[in-house]
């Protein structure tokens, strides 16, 4: 006997064979038991009188609950005023001289109470939830000292405890050298590795770093990754976004769950990632907002056999993107992803980018996290620019 059955729906299980990965089942049914999917298939094959509760989906499409696998959605303030200044002709240098850029987010985040950070992040999280998102990764990285990094992680965890959504946290203390810090990147990377990671390990599910000319070198990043390994935490990497520093290969060497951005990644690095099982996370919101001309090499990624995920990178500086559905469209228009690639990127492959084997597909035994959409075919999720056809959401079978 199942707890619930969802009927009168079309399914995209995201669990199909390589040549039909959406796994479409017209007139399908999903059944749950104890928060897990207990049965998936054609309605005609469903055992009769099988459930305590039957839900008529009215012809909606059911996908696995969507997963936003790369966000920085907890932060103080925002940078709309900077955006306005830049559009009015101010240069990056002028804005930096006035204390703008990432340091304005660091100052605002440090100044905010936990309650204020929670209240600011909540509508951003709820916006994702309203689109059918059931799992969200949230990074720290605007505290840049132990106390404030812990504060950010606690806020992220609390969002997941209070809201009907799974939150997984990532420590990104190696995001930038904090304002006023006198030791430079190497000293700060050591501080993160030796002091912040061991102290924050209990609040983080993973460790991330920003490996870039304007941030941390590959060697400094490796100290951070060694510390993560010692703390028993998997790693992720902001890699090769603005230049090719070999970030993709570095991530692969550490068996990273994912390497993210990858605009400048070289084909060898991409191949190394594929061998290591590292997922490539694409962030078209940043490409769009920064008006980047250099695009990730999708052809090389396909050739390497990489799994591609797609995410908002929701952050106040480079990607104030509050819609994962919009990223489906941007991934297809800017990067020429196929519908299959884009949809796998916010379900099955996004789950892999978080090391979560229990979700991202409609399959017996996985978590019963569902997203329901009023659409005629899955491609509509990639086609519309703005608006949300989401019409239902199930987390853990409820």
Decide whether 28 or 331 has the Cβ nearer to Zn ion.
331
Stretch that binds Zn ion, among 96-104, 110-118, 213-221, 309-317 (CB under 5 A): 309-317
* Given 82, 240, 297, 313, the residue binding Zn ion (CB under 5 A): 313
Q: How far is the CB of 20 from Zn ion (least distance, A)?
A: 32
CB of 315 to Zn ion, least distance (A): 6
User: By beta-carbon distance, which residue lies closest to Zn ion?
Assistant: 313
- Decide whether 313 or 369 has the Cβ nearer to Zn ion: 313
Shortest reach from residue 313's CB to Zn ion, in Å: 5
- The 224-243 contact track toward Zn ion, x by CB under 5 A, reads --------------------
263 forms part of the interface with Zn ion (CB under 5 A): no
In whole angstroms, give the CA distance from residue 84 to residue 64: 38
CA 134 to chain centre: 12
Least separation, in Å, of the C-beta of 382 and Zn ion? 22
CB-count burial class (<10 Å; 0-12, 13-18, 19+) for 13: buried
Task: Give just the sign of the alpha carbon dihedral 57, 61, 64, 69.
Answer: negative
Query: CB-wise, 68 or 313, nearer to Zn ion?
Result: 313
End-to-end CA distance of the chain: 16
Which residue number, 313 or 340, has a Cβ lying nearer to Zn ion?
A: 313
Angle at 350 between CA 203 and CA 233, to 5 degrees: 30
CB of 111 to Zn ion, least distance (A): 22
Q: By CB under 5 A, which span of 26-34, 173-181, 310-318, 384-392 interacts with Zn ion?
A: 310-318
Query: CB within 8 A of 268, min separation 6: which ones?
Result: 249
| Stretch in the footprint of Zn ion (CB under 5 A) among 96-104, 160-168, 305-313, 375-383 | 305-313
Residues with Cβ < 8 Å from 350, sequence gap 6 or more? Answer: 66, 67, 68, 69, 135, 281, 309, 310, 311, 360
Rounded CA gap, 271 and 268, in Å?
5
Other beta carbons less than 10 A from residue 292's beta carbon: 17
Contact 93, 141 (CB under 8 A): no
Stretch that binds Zn ion, among 27-35, 92-100, 116-124, 306-314 (CB under 5 A): 306-314
Q: What angle do CA 335, 336, 339 make, to 5 degrees?
A: 120
- The residue among 39 and 103 lying less far from Zn ion, judged by its C-beta, is 103
Number of residues that bind Zn ion (CB under 5 A): 1
Q: Which of 397, 359, 374, 279 is nearest to 64 (CA)?
A: 359
Q: Are 304 and 267 in contact (CB under 8 A)?
A: yes
The residue among 82 and 208 lying less far from Zn ion, judged by its C-beta, is: 208
- Whole-number minimum distance, CB 264 to Zn ion, in Å? 15
CB nearer Zn ion, residue 297 or residue 313: 313
Residues in the site for Zn ion, rule: CB under 5 A? 313
């Amino acid at each position: 006997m199942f707890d619930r059955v969802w009927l009168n729906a079309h399914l995209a299980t995201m669990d199909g064979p390589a040549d039909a990965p959406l796994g479409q089942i017209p007139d399908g049914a999903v059944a749950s038991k104890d928060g897990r999917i207990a049965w998936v298939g054609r309605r005609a094959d469903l055992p009769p009188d099988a459930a305590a509760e039957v839900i008529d989906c009215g012809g909606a499409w059911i996908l696995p609950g969507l997963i936003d696998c790369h966000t920085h959605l907890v932060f103080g303030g925002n940078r709309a005023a900077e955006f306005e200044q830049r559009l009015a002709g101010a240069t990056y240098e002028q804005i930096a001289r006035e204390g703008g850029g990432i340091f304005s987010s660091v100052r605002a985040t440090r100044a905010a109470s936990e309650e204020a950070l929670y209240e600011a992040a909540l509508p951003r999280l709820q916006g994702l939830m309203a689109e059918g998102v059931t799992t969200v990764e949230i990074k720290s990285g605007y505290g840049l000292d132990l106390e404030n990094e812990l504060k950010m992680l606690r806020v992220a965890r609390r969002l997941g405890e209070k809201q009907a959504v799974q939150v997984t946290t990532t420590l990104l203390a190696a995001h930038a050298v904090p304002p006023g810090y006198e030791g430079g990147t190497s000293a700060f990377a050591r501080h993160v590795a030796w002091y912040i990671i061991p102290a924050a390990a209990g609040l983080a599910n993973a460790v991330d770093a920003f490996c870039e000319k304007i941030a941390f070198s590959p060697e400094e990043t490796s100290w951070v990754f060694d510390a993560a390994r010692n703390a028993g935490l998997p790693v992720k990497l902001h890699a090769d976004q603005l230049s090719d520093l070999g970030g993709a290969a570095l991530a692969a060497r550490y068996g990273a769950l994912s390497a993210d951005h990858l605009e400048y990644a070289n084909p060898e690095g991409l191949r190394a990632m594929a061998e290591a099982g590292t997922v490539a996370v694409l962030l078209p919101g940043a490409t769009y907002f920064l008006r980047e001309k250099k695009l990730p090499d999708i052809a090389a990624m396909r050739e390497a056999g990489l799994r591609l995920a797609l995410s908002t990178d929701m952050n106040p500086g480079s990607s104030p993107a509050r819609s994962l559905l919009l990223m489906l469209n941007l991934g297809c228009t800017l990067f020429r992803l196929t519908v299959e690639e884009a949809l796998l990127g916010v379900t099955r492959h996004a789950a892999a980018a978080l090391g979560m084997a229990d979700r991202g597909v409609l399959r017996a035994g996985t978590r019963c996290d569902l997203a329901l959409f009023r659409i005629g075919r899955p491609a509509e999720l990639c086609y519309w620019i703005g608006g949300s056809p989401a019409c239902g959401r199930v987390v853990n079978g409820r």
